[in-house]
Amino acid sequence: MARFEPLPSTVLVTGGAGFIGSHACVELLDHGYEVIVVDDYSNSAPQVFARVERLAGRFVGAVYELDIRDHQALSAVFDRHSVDAVIHLGGFKSVSESARRPVDYYDTNVGGTLSLVRSMQEHGVHRLVYSSSCSVYGDAGSGPLDETTPARPASPYAASKWLCEQILADVCHHRPDYTVLCLRYFNPAGAHPSGLLGEDPRGTPDNLLPFMAQVAVGRRERLRVFGDDYATPDGTAVRDYLHVMDTVEAHRVALDHFADAPGMHVYNLGLGKGTSVLEVVAAFSEACGRPVPYEFAPRRPGDAAALVADVTAVSRAWGWSPTRDLTDMCRDAWRFQRLNPHGYECSARRPEPKDC
Ligand code: WQD
């Protein structure tokens, strides 16, 4: 039963300078929202906002450099702005890195979420879109996974996400006026079609697409394919890649559905199609016009053989489905990398992206 609630107009985006966050800011600004950003720039750069505003043709309402675990600093943002809803993207997100830094992952992902929810409660904000992860399913087999699949997190990263989901479910149980829309991302990839925004992680990329893009542009010698002995058609691991523009479109659509029903609602975000590492390599080679050099390496700890989404639930609930495919992802990711061989670092010296 839908409840009458005014649609949100001012949205706080945590991690708004990051890969998903920066694309989300453009999507929200393009659709008339007032956007407030908090980010600690641990895996992002402030230069991104000049590009966000160029694409949107309007300004981000305010950007605050802060760690969301700093509860006083975060609450001051809520004091200054009448926030209607929060999109919580801020956090660490590497499966492999989390095995090396478990305490940091729990502290940042769980501690940060607790600090955020406390600030929301103190300021009467009761609508949250939460960025979760398909990694909560663990190695759950090759079939498409729906939201009823038991959670078997197999890394500290996945466990931190699952813990946050349970915290948010308890908050909603305790506070019937709260609505949490929990989006379990599969593998966001690609870039804004303009080539102005893309994935530019600090240091060595953990994820397949950005690492491969840096190989293709000459920053790295070759890709290591982690494992060629999985029980998959070509022996390499299978994932469900989703264009980052589809990913952030789903977040914007979510904002229209807080009034559908209170409580916590969980949705998979994916294409609903499995693609192996070698198939991604082939698609990216096609996009950049030359073979991407690679070699096989041992499996990476914590990796699942296959993770593919059943995306029926979000389509039924919101009437939304992704529209972009792997070709679009590779084309757009390559355009960003080609125009920004060293990522946003170049824009520190030159305001416009160009072949560096
Ligand atoms: C994909 C495949 C690797 C790098 C991601 C996000 C995580 C979560 C789940 C959102 C795997 C292989 C990778 C490389 C490789 N999403 N690979 N060589 O591990 O599925 O996790 O999706 O929350 O945040 O990180 O993505 O891109 O790291 O790996 O062979 O240099 O590519 O083994 O099979 P992953 P990934």
Task: Give the pLDDT mean for 202-218.
Answer: 95
Instruction: Check residue 1 and give its pLDDT.
Output: 55
State how far the Cα of 175 lies from the Cα of 178, in Å rounded to an integer.
6
**Measuring from each residue's beta carbon to the nearest atom of ligand 1, which residues come in under 6 Å?**
93-95, 133-135, 185, 187, 206-208, 211, 223-226, 237, 239, 277, 300, 303
Give the number of domains in the chain.
1
State how far the Cα of 87 lies from the Cα of 266, in Å rounded to an integer.
14
Tell the residue nearest (CA) to atom 24 of ligand 1: 93
SS3 label, residue 114: helix
List pLDDT tens digits, range 262-282: 999 999 999 999 999 999 999
Q: Is residue 353 part of a domain?
A: no
Q: Is residue 344 part of a domain?
A: yes
Instruction: Check residue 354 and give its pLDDT.
Output: 42
Q: Is residue 138 part of a domain?
A: yes
Instruction: Check residue 4 and give its pLDDT.
Output: 66
List pLDDT tens digits, range 6-41: 777 999 999 999 999 999 999 999 999 999 999 999
* Distance between Cα 75 and ligand 1 center (Å): 34
Task: Compute the 3-state secondary structure of the chain and give helix, strand, coil in percent, each to the nearest 5.
Answer: 40, 15, 45
Instruction: Check residue 167 and give its pLDDT.
Output: 98
Q: Is residue 354 part of a domain?
A: no
Tell the residue nearest (CA) to atom 4 of ligand 1: 208
pLDDT over 70 (residue 350): no
Q: Is residue 121 part of a domain?
A: yes
CATH number at residue 303: 3.40.50.720
Q: Is residue 51 part of a domain?
A: yes
Strand ordering across the sheet containing 263-269: 62-65, 34-39, 10-14, 85-88, 127-133, 179-185, 263-269
Domain that holds residue 142: 10-348
Q: Is residue 4 part of a domain?
A: no
Dihedral of alpha carbons 127, 69, 201, 187, sign: negative
157 given a catalytic annotation: yes
Q: Is residue 5 part of a domain?
A: no
Which atom of ligand 1 lies at the shortest distance from residue 302's CA? 19
pLDDT-derived band at 2 (thresholds 50, 70, 90) equals low
Q: Which residues pair with 65 in a beta bridge?
A: 39
Among 145-159, 258-272, 314-328, 341-355, whose mean pLDDT is lowest? 341-355
* Distance between Cα 81 and ligand 1 center (Å): 36
pLDDT over 80 (residue 60): yes
pTM for the complete prediction?
0.95
